[in-house]
Amino acid sequence: MCGLFGYYGPGADPSRLKEIARLAARRGPEGLGLAFQNKSSRPSFWIEFGSGATARHINLIDRCADAQVVIGHCRLASSNVFSQGLLQPVTHGGVVLAHNGNVPGYREDPDWQWGDDAPDSRLLALWVGEQQQRLNVSLAEAWAAVSQRLNGRPYAVLIASQGEFLAAARGLPLWTDGNGYYGSVRWADDLEAVGH
C-alpha cells in the first residue's frame, strides 16, 4: 500500500512534514508526489513529482514552507508497473487528491478517460468534482457520495477542493495529530485515527 502525508492549517513546517513523509515512504518507496498551496499560489496548487527512491526526493518538501495545504503521496508500484503517469496526487478541475486503495472496475467505468498510464485515483477526483458542481455540496458531502461507489473497499484519502480539505479513511490507516498534520503511518504516540 502507498503512503500518504499532508497538512491543513496556517503554515506547514517542512521538517515535520519530512518526518512524516520518511515514515510514509516505508509504505511507498518508489516515488514521491506533492501538491501544495500557499498564499502566493492561491487558488492554484504547485505540483511536484520525483520518480525512483522516495528518499532521493524528500527535499521537495522544503518548498512547502508556510503552505496552508499540503497533500503528499509515496508510491508503491503494487502492480509491479511503475511510470511517472501513475504518481499522485492527481488533479481534476479544482480537485487535488491522493488516495490509497483500489477503485473497483475503474477502467470499465464510462467516465474513465485516461488510458493505461494513469492511477485509478483520477476517477475519484473527477467524481468528487462532479458531485460538488452538480449538487453544490461541501467536499465532505461529495466524498460521502463518491465513497459509496467503492463498494465497501478500504481506502485512505486526502482531498482539497474549493478552499476545503478532507482526510477520510475506511479500513486503512490514516492518522492526525490534531494540529493539521496527517499521515498513513504513526509518527507520534498521541495521534488520533481518522475515520469515515
Q: Looking at the predicted structure, is the pLDDT value of residue 56 above 90?
A: no
- Residue 177 pLDDT grade (very low, low, confident, very high; cuts 50, 70, 90): very high
The residue whose grid cell reads 465513497 is 147
Domain-wise residue ranges, the chain: 3-193
pTM: 0.90
Cβ contacts of residue 123 below 8 Å, gap of 6+?
Answer: 103, 106, 109, 111, 112
Mean pLDDT, the chain, integer: 87
Secondary structure (DSSP) of 19-59? HHHHHHTTT-TTEEEEEEE-TTTTTS-EEEEEES-GGGGGG
For the segment 156-169, the average pLDDT, to the nearest whole number, is: 94
Residue-wise pLDDT for 12-42, tens only, equals 999 999 999 999 988 877 788 899 997 766 6
What gap in Å lies between CA 32 and CA 62, rounded to an integer? 13
Highest-scoring range by mean pLDDT, 7-21, 41-55, 71-85, 89-103:
7-21
Q: Environment class of residue 19 by beta-carbon count within 10 Å: exposed (0-12), middle (13-18) or buried (19+)?
A: middle
Set of cell numbers at residue 142? 461529495
CA-based radius of gyration for the chain: 15
Read off the pLDDT of residues 112-145 as tens digits, 9 standing for 90 and up: 777 766 778 888 999 999 999 888 999 999 999 9
Per-residue pLDDT reduced to its tens digit, 68-86: 999 999 877 665 555 566 7
CATH architecture of the region 3-193 = 4-Layer Sandwich (3.60)
